Amino acid sequence: MVAAPVLEELREVCQPYAKLASRNGEHWAGRLYMRRLSLRFTRQLVRTPVTPDQLTWTMVVCGIASGAALLIPGLTGAVLAVVLMQLFLLFDCVDGEVARWKGQNSATGIYVDRLGAYLADAALMAGIGFRAAENGLGGWLSLGIATALGVVLLKASTDLVDVARARRGLAVADDESTRPRSQGVATVRRLAAAFKIHRVTNGIEASLVLLAAAVGDTLTGGVEVTRWALVALAAITWLMVPAHLLSILASSRLR
């Protein structure tokens, strides 16, 4: 068997500084802990026939399964959802690292990676709605689906910037171009960034919020805490949808 590459050499190739330093290119959990863990997995995987696309599809399955896990009532489902969402993040790191080391980057991999991000976050929000409805249909499930739709719109509005720029023959937008040209919008954005509340629209953070809510439900009985958490997630998501659109239009990303 081929010897495992040295970690430092692997890190230099698989975790380029430009990507990790980018504000929009790396999740905070990746920088905080997951990139340290993922490199150990990548070190073993690059010695196998496994392809980056196979790892990306595994990521997608983990993300969707995280939402499906919420069909299991109580703490068990909530803990499983968190574990699966962490595996989603792990494979999201590993697939790109293996692709860089093996030189197997592909448009298919990028497409499936983005699709997986949409499906994972939407599945989790819909799962929270199902849990809040106590396995029944009705308003709570509808609220979960509406929140899932809002999350998809947030991601789509970001990705459509790259689509619009590509169709105009422009390069990919850098971090500098994301800064609003309007001082007022910039001030609001700085305030939002200071509180980091927008992060709960991401499946990784939302799964942790749900876990805390599930603990509250266990202590109080019923699903009232989960319902309040869903209301908060829905409100933040749908406040973010127009705010994010305004932020894009007020920046230089489309110029």
CATH class of the region 7-250? mainly alpha
Residue with more model confidence, 136 or 91: 91
What pLDDT shows up at residue 179? Answer: 59
- Residue 155 pLDDT level (bands cut at 50, 70, 90): very high
Read off the amino acid at residue 80. Answer: L
In angstroms, rounded to a whole number, what is the distance separating the alpha carbons of residues 54 and 119?
17
pLDDT, mean of residues 227-251 = 91
Does residue 142 carry a pLDDT above 70?
yes
| SS3 readout for the chain | CCCCCCHHHHHHHHCCHHHHHCCCCCCHHHHHHHHHHHHHHHHHHCCCCCCHHHHHHHHHHHHHHHHHHHHCCHHHHHHHHHHHHHHHHHHHHHHHHHHHHHCCCCHHHHHHHHHHHHHHHHHHHHHHHHHHCCCCCCHHHHHHHHHHHHHHHHHHHHHHHHHHHHHCCCCCCCHHHHCCCCHHHHHHHHHHHHHCHHHHHCHHHHHHHHHHHHHHHHHHCCCHHHHHHHHHHHHHHHHHHHHHHHHHHCCCCCC
Does residue 97 carry a pLDDT above 80?
yes
pLDDT tens digits, one per residue of 214-227? 999 999 988 999 99
What pLDDT shows up at residue 192? Answer: 55
* The pair of three-digit structure tokens given for residue 118, joined into one six-digit string: 């949409």
Phi, psi of 114 (to 5 degrees): -70, -40
- Residue 168 pLDDT level (bands cut at 50, 70, 90): confident
pLDDT tens digits, one per residue of 20-31? 656 556 777 877
Domain boundaries, the chain: 7-250
pTM over the 0.85 mark: yes
Residue with tokens 């319902």: 227
Does residue 149 carry a pLDDT above 80?
yes
Does residue 143 carry a pLDDT above 90?
yes
